[in-house]
Amino acid sequence: MSQWFDINKVLSYNAMLNFVVGYRGVGKTYGAKVWAVNHFFKTGMKFIYLRRFKEEVNGDDLKTFFTQIENDEKMKGHEFTVDGRQFYVDGQHCGQASYLTIQQSKKSVTYDDYDFIIFDEFIIEKGYQHYLPNEPAKLYNYMNTVFRHRDNCRCICLANAINWANPYFTFFKFTPMDGGYQLIQNGTILLNIYENEEYQDMVAESRFGQMIKGTAFEEMAFQNTFEDVSEDFIKPRPKNGILQFNIQWKDKTYGCWFNPIDFEFVISNKINNDVNTICYTTKDYKPNMMLITDKKLRVNNELKRAFANGYLFYEDMYIRSDMYDLFMLLGVR
């Protein structure tokens, strides 16, 4: 086994949408680029290098797109050029860069000669950027625009291990795992938490590896440790629980259940429309809901008190992540 990422194992599962999370610097993007260019040599089919925002694919940033792979054994003897967002090899157009927010204006464009998308850094670090509203649906729309129901097309999404409860893993409800493969939706969607002991050993033996040894950065960057994967404040919905109200948040509805024996609250996916449903944004607001605009209302104070004093729990970590974002809106840090 090589110490570098091998994309062929991932693509051998023949999923249409592939998520790969792995160590920093292990060659995820490098391997995807080499595969895309080789695929063009063999079939003439082009690729799209996809990012989230227009600013990430401006001309200056893309000038060095092929620098990584020009000296690869498989690429020697070929000439690579970039013109704006267009990619060329040996004078032939082989692909382009694009961004998710452009998909609506490109729905009438034909992409019959494209069959591969590389979506880089689909998980982002908090504070660095932000996700698009309903981002997984936007990726679906983009894929549909390019692939047009062709079954032999594939999209590979690449990232480092940061947060498990990101919009994509939340949307697809992937089960947390330390490594390996997970297939869902009849094998059309794949998740790979990439593992490679040779690469880990190489990093550990380097001076940089010695410098970061034992730190949280080492765990995240080179051990695939997701910072939010834990059982903290996770509890099942109490069987004797009393539903207090529903919460509409981020296009999802949760139930707030009270356990009178242990005096605890549990936020659950289980709801009942016989109680009031509250929401906090006009985006979530629908008929027969209560739009909460005053942060000092009793319901907010009760939630914040339970949160601050450690008797508010969550059915799973996806709910916990969503609720933490809600508490930030309510002024809790």
Contact call for residues 5 and 21 (beta carbons, < 8 A):
no
Is the pTM higher than 0.85? The answer reads no
Contact call for residues 96 and 83 (beta carbons, < 8 A):
no
Same domain, 75 and 149: yes
Q: Report yes or no on 144 lying in a domain.
A: yes
Same domain, 119 and 172: yes
Rounded CA gap, 178 and 180, in Å? 7
Q: At 206, which CATH number?
A: 3.40.50.300
List the single range of 35-44, 67-76, 194-203, 286-295 with lowest mean pLDDT.
Answer: 194-203
**Res. 185 pLDDT band, cuts 50 70 90:** very high
Same domain, 155 and 268: no
Length of the chain in terms of residues written:
333
Whether residue 270 is predicted with pLDDT greater than 60 in this model: the reply is: yes
Which residue, of 159, 188, 222, is where some domain finishes? 222
Same domain, 218 and 265: no
Q: Report yes or no on 227 lying in a domain.
A: no
Whether residue 62 is predicted with pLDDT greater than 70 in this model: the reply is: yes
Range 258-286 average pLDDT: 93
How many domains does the chain divide into?
A: 2
- How would you class 104 by CB atoms within 10 Å of its CB: exposed for 0-12, middle for 13-18, buried for 19 or more? exposed
Residue in 172, 155, 100, 95 with CA at minimum distance from that of residue 129:
100
Same domain, 264 and 137: no
Same domain, 152 and 46: yes
Please indicate whether residue 246 or residue 108 has the higher confidence score (pLDDT): 246
Same domain, 185 and 264: no
**310-319 tens-digit pLDDT:** 999 999 989 9
Residue in 30, 28, 46 with CA at minimum distance from that of residue 115:
46
Q: What is the dihedral of CA 174, 178, 181, 183, to 10 degrees?
A: -10
Whether residue 113 is predicted with pLDDT greater than 90 in this model: the reply is: yes
Instruction: Please list, in sequence order, all residues whose beta carbon lies within 8 angstroms of the beta carbon of residue 226, skipping any fewer than 6 positions away.
Output: 161, 162, 163, 164, 176, 220
Q: Report yes or no on 1 lying in a domain.
A: no
The share of the chain scoring above pLDDT 70, in percent, equals 94
Q: Report yes or no on 235 lying in a domain.
A: no
Contact call for residues 323 and 266 (beta carbons, < 8 A):
no
pLDDT at position 1 is 54
Residue in 259, 245, 253 with CA at minimum distance from that of residue 323:
253
Q: Report yes or no on 236 lying in a domain.
A: no
Range 201-223 average pLDDT: 77
Q: Which residue has the tokens 């593992």?
A: 195
pLDDT at position 85 is 94
Q: Report yes or no on 2 lying in a domain.
A: no
Instruction: Please list, in sequence order, all residues whose beta carbon lies within 8 angstroms of the beta carbon of residue 317, skipping any fewer than 6 positions away.
Output: 164, 165, 176, 228, 229, 230, 234
Q: Report yes or no on 142 lying in a domain.
A: yes
Please indicate whether residue 163 or residue 1 has the higher confidence score (pLDDT): 163
Whether residue 105 is predicted with pLDDT greater than 60 in this model: the reply is: no
**Res. 68 pLDDT band, cuts 50 70 90:** confident
Which residue, of 169, 190, 222, is where some domain finishes? 222
Same domain, 189 and 252: no
302: which 2 tokens?
Answer: 């009760």
Whether residue 127 is predicted with pLDDT greater than 70 in this model: the reply is: no
Same domain, 17 and 146: yes
pLDDT at position 330 is 82
Instruction: Please list, in sequence order, all residues whose beta carbon lies within 8 angstroms of the beta carbon of residue 9, skipping any fewer than 6 positions away.
Output: 192
**Res. 104 pLDDT band, cuts 50 70 90:** low
**13-42 tens-digit pLDDT:** 999 999 999 888 888 999 999 999 999 999
Same domain, 320 and 179: no
Same domain, 170 and 288: no
Whether residue 222 is predicted with pLDDT greater than 80 in this model: the reply is: no
**Res. 219 pLDDT band, cuts 50 70 90:** low
82: which 2 tokens?
Answer: 């970039």
Q: Report yes or no on 200 lying in a domain.
A: yes
Residue in 133, 137, 128, 139 with CA at minimum distance from that of residue 51:
139
**Res. 69 pLDDT band, cuts 50 70 90:** very high
Which residue, of 156, 189, 222, is where some domain finishes? 222
CA distances from residue 184 to 50, 188, 192, 303 in whole angstroms, order as listed: 23, 7, 12, 35
**Res. 128 pLDDT band, cuts 50 70 90:** low
Residue 62 sits in which domain range? 7-222
Query: What value does the mean pLDDT of the chain take?
Result: 89
Same domain, 150 and 291: no
**Res. 333 pLDDT band, cuts 50 70 90:** low
